[in-house]
Amino acid sequence: MTETQPLYLDPTRPTPERVQDLIARLTLDEKIGLMLHEAHGVPRLGIPAYNYWSEALHGITGNSRTTVFPQAIALGATFDPALVQRVASAIGDEGRAKYHVALRCHGETDQMQGLTFWSPNINIFRDPRWGRGQETYGEDPYLTGELGVAFVRGLQGDDPRYLKTAACAKHYAVHSGPEGLRHFFDAQVSLRDMHDTYLPAFKRLVMDAKVEAVMGAYNRINGHPACAHPYLLGDVLRGAWGFDGHVVSDCWAIRDIYQEHKFVATPAEAAALSVKQGCDLNCGGGTYCALDDAVKLGLITEAEIDESLARSLTTRFRLGMFDPAEQVSYTEIPPSVVNGPEHRALAYEAAVKSVVLLKNEDNLLPLDPGIKRLFLIGPLAANVDVLLGNYFGISDTLTTLLEGIVGRAPEGVRVSYNIGCLLTQPKVNPNSWAIYAAQSNDVIIAAMGISTLLESEEGDALLSTALGDRDTLELPQVQRDFLRGLASKGNKIVLVLFGGSPIALGDLADLVQAIVYVWYPGQEGGRAIADVLFGDVAPSGRLPLTFPKSLDQLPPFEDYAMTGRTYRYMTEEPEYPFGFGLSYTRFTYSGLQVPATVKAGETVPVSVTLTNAGDVAAEEVVQVYLSDLAASTVVPQHKLVAFRRVALEPGESQLVEFALPPDALAFINDAGEPQTEPGTFRLTVGGCSPGARGVALGAAEAVLGEFEVA
């Protein structure tokens, strides 16, 4: 270190020493300025301004050209952690490249140009009405944890010293709508449901993936604001889980503490309370500017502010922001990676693996190569928005379904297109030739569903009557009527459904021969869907959430108890069950092996033979569910404890082995603690969650086995 170089700029010194040296040089006002998401610069110390607010849910958001991967719920449908990690690693590479280009061009970065990505969203999609459920990996805590861990590892990289980017687990915790109430809502939840459903994924990301940041939610939980929650932030996050990263508020959530929740009376009280309880960074509203008054009023000490500031500054040091660029390997990632060939291929792979085949009557799919006339119709066939979902980036290589079909259809096949009907609005012109034009075709592909105009965050869904949420699970009436008109002419129909949440079809499902659910599939969506429809690749996506038959099967939206919710606690028959998805081949399960008796605390070995009994190469998602048959309290009917994607050639068999960890046998008791009891457990291994409905729809027969815990 030279005489003129302060310790905090010396990369040879331990990070904690460097952080403390920097804090010791700051005035109180400078410290406070660094605790806002638009962190102020400190020119006298050579500290540039930095905006923490960047998003990377399924690609870099709001920062010019990027690769647009499938929406998070679509990534959930892949049931493929390795794929999700590769996607996140690609996103991290693009984020790094774009960050350093902005620095070289402008000497600073703006919002959405930083390295602190407020992703992933690992809230549990407990109610299909929630407009932001599309941002999650679905309704299951285990699946969410597995995919969330993979995403964080991909974003943050594997350098032993530096983070590629800083991931953020959000929204902590017990947060999943209603959107219109989020700024003042108090979610009432038992300790059992909290630790059984709402917290496990956060625990995994903190303890296993070492996520760098956690974002507090808007709402209260059992009376306390999430961003100032003594139990969730203190006892659980920093206490039991040992989290040492920084906590950021959701945007304007600190303001909500006094303005909407009325938990305290003033900005100074809200700011002091949040910092003291463990929220280190204030996004939106600048409420932490009142920390100066809070110190003067004796509500908080400067030493407490120092402790909090150290955590967010540590993240900036771990990103290499105070070190020479040549020492940080990630600075060498070239801009050419942005939407380059490898990333476009990865977006295509993710889109293909997310497509869920829900119905295939008389094997209409894949489309007969001898087809002569194909008619593409529907309001979403040529729509770009349904490729993107929310929290999206933008690309110069977006492929709609129309473009995908036209690009894939063999020469000699006559492909026609008509929008047919609008998304939600009835037609004004009484005349329409669409249904009559469709009659003369061999197969109709009807591109329907919903978009982020109907489901999204509170201010984005311009056609939502519930401030971003859905007030019905059905298709919009105009689409239902139009589909009935198409079907009345006797056409063979492939229904391609876009959306980020369940769509209840009812008797409409009986009017079409094939149904594929394609989510918001990203920039390569049109090409991926077309290749699945034409049979270039077999569909292998699985539903990461239950599709109910109607709202009548759901508890009230505001009720956060898990009773009657998701496949784990729902007793009514769903329209489509969790984990369900058909293929172009037929898989069989046999030879389940599990010990007759295990001791508490032991790993449980499980094996099963999977066979591709059809004539098409395909991938199956092998799913392992556990049921505690003798628990002394309320437990899930069954819960996912393991899964794996397996690729098989026609006629090929493979022994698939799992090792269930001891904590898979535990349930959460009424005190919110894990507990393992002796008794009988049942394993169900197959391609769908347990229940007769999946088999009736075409899922493979599962194999069952029981064992005793001594």
For 22, 158, 279, 550, the CA distances from 52, given in Å and listed in that order, are 19, 22, 14, 41
Give residue 557's Cα distance to chain centre.
20
Nearest to 95 by CA among 415, 319, 368: 319
- List CB contacts of 300: < 8 A, sequence separation 6 or more: 271, 272, 275, 276, 291, 294
Start-to-end CA span in the chain (Å)? 62
Yes or no: say if 61 and 392 are a contact pair by the CB < 8 Å rule. yes
Whats the size of the chain, residue-wise? 710
Please write down the HEC assignment for all residues of 105-137: HHCCCCCCCCCEECCCECCCCCCCCCCCHHHCC
Neighbouring-strand partners of residue 493: 444
Yes or no: say if 220 and 267 are a contact pair by the CB < 8 Å rule. no
Yes or no: say if 576 and 358 are a contact pair by the CB < 8 Å rule. yes
Give residue 51's Cα distance to chain centre.
24
Exactly one of 250, 260, 280, 457 is catalytic; which is it?
Answer: 250
Helix (H, G, I), strand (E, B) or coil at 103: helix
Give residue 265's Cα distance to chain centre.
36
Yes or no: say if 97 and 338 are a contact pair by the CB < 8 Å rule. yes
Nearest to 126 by CA among 144, 102, 112: 144
Angle, helix 525-533 to helix 401-408, in steps of 10 degrees: 50
Rounded to 5°, the CA angle 302-307-310 comes to 120
Scored b (16 or more CB within 10 A) or e, 464-492 reads: bebbbbbeebbbbebbbebbebbbeeebe
Query: CA quadruple 428, 430, 435, 437: dihedral positive or negative?
Result: negative
Yes or no: say if 590 and 549 are a contact pair by the CB < 8 Å rule. no
Exactly one of 135, 455, 524, 619 is catalytic; which is it?
Answer: 455
The answer to whether residue 455 is catalytic is yes
Yes or no: say if 131 and 461 are a contact pair by the CB < 8 Å rule. yes
- List CB contacts of 134: < 8 A, sequence separation 6 or more: 71, 72, 73, 389, 390, 452, 455, 456, 499, 500, 501, 519, 520
Neighbouring-strand partners of residue 356: 517
Helix (H, G, I), strand (E, B) or coil at 482: helix
DSSP 281: B
DSSP 469: B
Angle, helix 302-318 to helix 15-24, in steps of 10 degrees: 130
Q: How far apart are the C-alpha atoms of 444 and 206, rounded to whole Å?
A: 48
Q: How far apart are the C-alpha atoms of 548 and 536, rounded to whole Å?
A: 31
Helix (H, G, I), strand (E, B) or coil at 494: strand
Active site amino acids: 250, 455
